[in-house]
Amino acid sequence: MIIPSGLLSLGTSPISRGQKRYVGPGGRMLFIKPIPVLGGLILGGGASYTYWAGEHRGGVAPRGRVRGNTDEFPCQSAIPAGSTQGTLTTGTASGCEIVPGTNTPIRHVVSAGLFGTLIPASGWQINLSFTAIWNKSDGFGESCVDTLSGLVCLGDNSPNNHWGQITSFAFSFGYDVTSYMTLTLGYSTLAFHPDISGGRENMLFNELSQVNLALQFRVDGMVVALDNLLHADDEEGEGGEEASNEALRRAAF
């Protein structure tokens, strides 16, 4: 089976609101292949793309000279004692400000994944999935400041060209307690590439790995079970009425 679909995401999360992301149109393609093995095997995969529309928040800009400062260059470059790194300090001015930069918002999101579900026996299921998500953010702008040596500007020097990757691995066992309720014991791992140290995390085990026990309720199964229960009561009522009418007929004749 090939299932295409459209996507529309709204930027309601704190992260999206902080990055001024408003709406994300996109699309998804899903492939599913049932295979008659044991109680059943379902293999599948899919890919999706989302573009986030919103405000550009990347980069910084010079704030300009401090008001009231008559110096030609309100900032000067200096190396503090005991340090090998230059810092921007002020001379007679009360402050020399630069508009601080912010993390650039994610604009493009591409995901691809594979999954499989094996039903070895009635009521049992084994699930395995792996998903990779690539995020592409805007480029940073330029940051400039006046120094004694002239205007100094720092451009975009991101080492990974603003591409980030997240991977998700999940494995679980499930048992249908009823027709509408499944008990699942699962293991999952989320990994960021690059991580906080700039390297690649282990995709199968890291500090974000977790084991969980879940009880899932299926609304469609609950509706079917309730419908069967109501019809069973109706059938019992009809059977009782027929038995009563038959007894009256026998008594009359």
Given this model, what pLDDT does residue 4 score? 96
Whether residues 154 and 241 share a domain: the answer is no
Q: For position 68, what pLDDT does the model report?
A: 44
Most confident of 92-96, 125-129, 161-165: 125-129
Tell me if 211 sits within 8 A of 187, measured CB to CB. Answer: yes
| Domain presence at residue 90 | no
Q: Are residues 165 and 52 in the same domain?
A: yes
Percent of the chain with pLDDT over 90: 36
Cβ contacts of 15 within 8 Å, gap of 6 or more = none
Full residue range of the structural domain in which residue 234 is found: 223-253
Q: What is the separation of C-alpha 109 from the centre of its chain, rounded to a whole number of angstroms?
A: 10
CB 93 within 8 A of CB 72: no
Domain count for the chain, please give it.
2
The long-range contacts involving 92-96, CB below 8 angstroms and separated by at least 24 positions, are 93/65, 93/66, 93/69, 94/66, 94/69, 95/66, 96/66, 96/145
Whether 132 and 228 map to the same domain: the answer is no
pLDDT of the residue at 1: 93
Q: What is the per-residue pLDDT across 8-62, written as a single tens digit (0 to 9) for each?
A: 999 888 878 877 788 999 999 999 999 998 889 999 999 999 998 887 654 444 4
pTM above 0.95, yes or no: no
129 compared with 250, residue with greater pLDDT: 129
Do 209 and 249 belong together in one domain? Answer: no
Are residue 161 and residue 246 in the same domain, yes or no?
Answer: no
Residue-wise pLDDT tens digits, 52-111: 888 765 444 444 443 444 444 444 444 444 544 444 444 433 344 444 444 567 888 999
Q: Note whether 154 and 245 are same-domain residues.
A: no
* Band of pLDDT at residue 149, cut at 50, 70 and 90: low
Please tell me whether residues 173 and 251 are part of one structural domain.
no
Same domain, yes or no: 235 and 182:
no
Q: Tell whether the model's pLDDT for residue 6 goes beyond 50.
A: yes
The CA distance from 173 to 126, in Å, is 5
Contact 168, 130 (CB under 8 A): yes
